[in-house]
Amino acid sequence: MKDKSKKKEEQLAADAVTTSATDVQEISSLAEATKSTAAAEETIHLIVFKLGAEEYGIKIEQVKEVTVTPSVTRMPRTPDFIKGVANIRGDIIAIMDLEERFGIRPAPLTSDQNPNITYTLVIEARDYSIGVIVREVPQSLNLSMAKIDKAPSFLQDINIHANYIEGIAKVNERLIIVLDMYKILTQDEIQELKS
């Protein structure tokens, strides 16, 4: 009788272990499915603008503010793509023209564009702040990380050693080049701006 009762207890214990192992497996599977769903649904918020005829984007966390470009004062001994400095909310910030930096021909103005009005995206890195001139009002865009492909390495500018193209976003028929603004300038250029 004791043997039967002991066997029954052992069987119940074995069933409990099997059940809890199955539960753990189901929970693990559910957790993995949740992680992959979360990864698939991870979104990125971009500020999108045009350089020439192409669209570019910057992660919103790299953009401190967007403002109408104030008057720019040209500075001597600066690279051609640095248009000068401007007073933006009490801070003197170097203003950069990415079209000139990348060697992009500006697109012709449309009838509704005022040639005297441009917009500045203020980028605040750890060591410096810089303004980027764009000709049209930048747009805000949320999209899934799954829509951004890694940029092929041959697309990188050989003069700029850092990998400043984060990827290429596909939105319907549009392609948007996503930039890492913290890698646009070389260390020498950053030192020039700081001094």
Summarised one tens digit per residue, pLDDT across range 104-120 is 998 887 777 777 889 99
What is the structure's pLDDT at 195? 60
Residue 32: exposed, middle, or buried by beta-carbon count in 10 A (0-12, 13-18, 19+)? exposed
Final residue belonging to a domain, choices 26, 41, 56: 41
How would residue 43 be classed by pLDDT, with cut points 50, 70 and 90?
confident
pLDDT, the chain, mean: 78
pLDDT digits (tens, 9 = 90+) for 145-181: 888 888 766 555 454 445 788 888 988 888 999 998 8
Q: Phi/psi of residue 66, each to 5°?
A: -125, 130
Same domain, 103 and 81: yes
Give the β-pairing of 54-59 and 43-51. antiparallel
Same domain, 59 and 31: no
Say how far apart CA 125 and CA 181 lie, in whole Å: 8
Same domain, 34 and 71: no
Instruction: Specify which residues 175 forms β-bridges with.
Output: 170
Give the chain's domain count.
2
Q: Phi/psi of residue 164, each to 5°?
A: -90, -10
C-alpha radius of gyration, the chain, whole number: 27
Bigger pLDDT: 165 vs 8: 165
Position 25 pLDDT exceeds 90: no
What is the structure's pLDDT at 194? 66
Evaluate whether 55 touches 174 at the Cβ level (below 8 Å): yes
Q: Which two tokens stand for residue 184?
A: 């646009």
CATH of residue 138's domain is: 2.40.50.180
Same domain, 18 and 56: no
pLDDT digits (tens, 9 = 90+) for 58-111: 999 999 999 999 999 998 888 889 999 999 999 999 999 999 998 999 888 777
Residue span of the structural domain in which 33 resides = 1-41
29: enclosing H helix or E strand: helix 2-41
Same domain, 153 and 82: yes
Same domain, 2 and 53: no
Q: Span 115-139, mean pLDDT?
A: 89
Same domain, 72 and 145: yes
Same domain, 8 and 56: no
Same domain, 71 and 23: no
Same domain, 15 and 104: no
- pTM: predicted TM-score of the whole model, two decimal places: 0.70
Q: Span 31-37, mean pLDDT?
A: 48
Same domain, 144 and 53: yes
Same domain, 81 and 171: yes
